């Protein structure tokens, strides 16, 4: 496992071929050999087509990679949508995840309704106490975010993708979104969340990208046409900021955990 390293590959039009080359270069397969359960967490913020959400073809290819590395491991795909109008299974249906899971013989789960663990870190100012799904805390966690700007957080990449794991029972405090508590002091909220649980590994879909916001606005022009991977959540988020032409030093939640959860500066980009 290498901190401070981001692996990067030009997408050649085939998810499976591109992904296997990228992940083999990262040696993820060696880490997976020790895992009994792998949770793959895409970004299913709403039932909206990519690039707002993670493409099902990318997640299907990650499932294939995990199963090839550890055939006996339990593989689960899970997220918790932010919509108040429907649950995550509805979004899975609309975006092709239900059919994919049936084809691959894996389980889908709505993280909004999973059994919770109460966690406490009194030294943290924003979340001295958190409630997170047991499955998130006890699985090897692969985050699969999409390259996107965000109107409040500046960017939404792998660390912000963790907000999908937060249960509405504790983090919906009014408004029109199931995770609305995070809107207050959002950068501190994201940083503290990741101090409790940050991804073990990230695959970032930077094939298209959204340059203005996470639910609307222009796509990146030109398209980056990249897939990135890293064991370091801070480094890959900093790298994503660079692709979006946003300095990571201006993104509060990244700077807050720099040197603690990973490296914001001086990371190495390995071209695959």
- CB-count exposure of residue 72 (10 Å: 0-12, 13-18, 19+): exposed
Cα dihedral across residues 238, 31, 22, 216: positive or negative: negative
Query: What is the pLDDT, as a whole number, of residue 118?
Result: 98
Is the per-residue pLDDT at 2 higher than 70? yes
Query: What is the pLDDT, as a whole number, of residue 3?
Result: 83
What percentage of the chain reaches a pLDDT higher than 70?
100
Residue with tokens 């029109």: 176
- Residue 216 or 227, more confident: 227
5-271, what's its fold?
Rossmann fold (3.40.50)
Is the per-residue pLDDT at 211 higher than 70? yes
What percentage of the chain reaches a pLDDT higher than 90?
94
Query: Do residues 176 and 84 touch, judged by C-beta distance below 8 A?
Result: yes
Q: What is the pLDDT of residues 78-117, one digit of tens each?
A: 999 999 999 999 999 999 999 999 999 999 999 999 999 9
- CB-count exposure of residue 13 (10 Å: 0-12, 13-18, 19+): exposed
Q: What is the pLDDT of residues 41-89, one digit of tens each?
A: 999 999 999 999 999 999 999 999 999 999 999 999 999 999 999 999 9
Q: What integer is the mean pLDDT of 144-160?
A: 96
Of 181, 216, 180, nearest to 84 (Cα)? 180
Distance in angstroms (rounded) separating the CA atoms of residues 128 and 126 = 6
Model's pTM, two decimal places? 0.97
Residue 1 pLDDT class (50, 70, 90 cuts)? low
Q: Which helix (H) or strand (E) holds 41?
A: strand 37-42
Of 73, 76, 191, 77, nearest to 126 (Cα)? 191
Residue 217 pLDDT class (50, 70, 90 cuts)? confident
Query: What is the pLDDT, as a whole number, of residue 174?
Result: 78
Q: What is the pLDDT of residues 11-48, one digit of tens each?
A: 999 999 999 999 999 999 999 999 999 999 999 999 99
Is the per-residue pLDDT at 255 higher than 80? yes
Is the per-residue pLDDT at 175 higher than 80? no
97-104 vs 56-69: helix crossing angle, rounded to 10:
20
Report the chain's mean pLDDT, rounded to a whole number: 96
């Amino acid at each position: 496992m290498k901190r401070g390293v981001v692996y990067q590959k030009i997408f050649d039009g085939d998810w499976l071929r591109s992904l296997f080359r990228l992940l083999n270069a990262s040696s993820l397969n060696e880490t997976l050999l020790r895992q009994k359960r792998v949770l793959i967490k895409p970004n299913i913020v709403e039932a909206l087509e990519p690039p707002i959400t993670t493409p099902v073809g990318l997640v299907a290819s990650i499932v294939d990679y995990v199963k090839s590395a550890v055939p006996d491991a339990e593989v689960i795909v899970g997220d918790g949508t932010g919509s108040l109008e429907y649950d995550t299974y509805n979004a899975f249906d609309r975006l092709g995840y239900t059919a994919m899971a049936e084809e691959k013989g894996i389980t889908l789960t709505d993280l909004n309704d999973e059994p919770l663990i109460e966690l406490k870190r009194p030294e943290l100012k924003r979340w001295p106490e958190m409630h997170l799904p047991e499955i998130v805390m006890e699985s090897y966690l692969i985050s699969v975010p999409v390259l996107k700007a965000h109107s409040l957080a500046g960017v939404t990449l792998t660390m912000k993708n963790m907000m999908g794991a937060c249960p509405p029972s504790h983090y919906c405090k009014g408004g029109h979104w199931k995770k609305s508590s995070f809107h207050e002091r959002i950068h501190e909220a994201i940083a503290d969340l990741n101090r409790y649980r940050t991804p073990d590994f990230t695959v970032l879909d930077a094939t298209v990208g959204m340059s203005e916001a996470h639910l609307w606005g222009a796509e990146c022009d030109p398209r980056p046409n990249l897939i990135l991977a890293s064991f370091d959540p801070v480094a890959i988020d900093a790298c994503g900021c660079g692709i979006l032409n946003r300095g990571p030093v201006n993104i509060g939640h990244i700077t807050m955990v720099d040197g603690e959860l990973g490296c914001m500066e001086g990371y190495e980009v390995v071209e695959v």
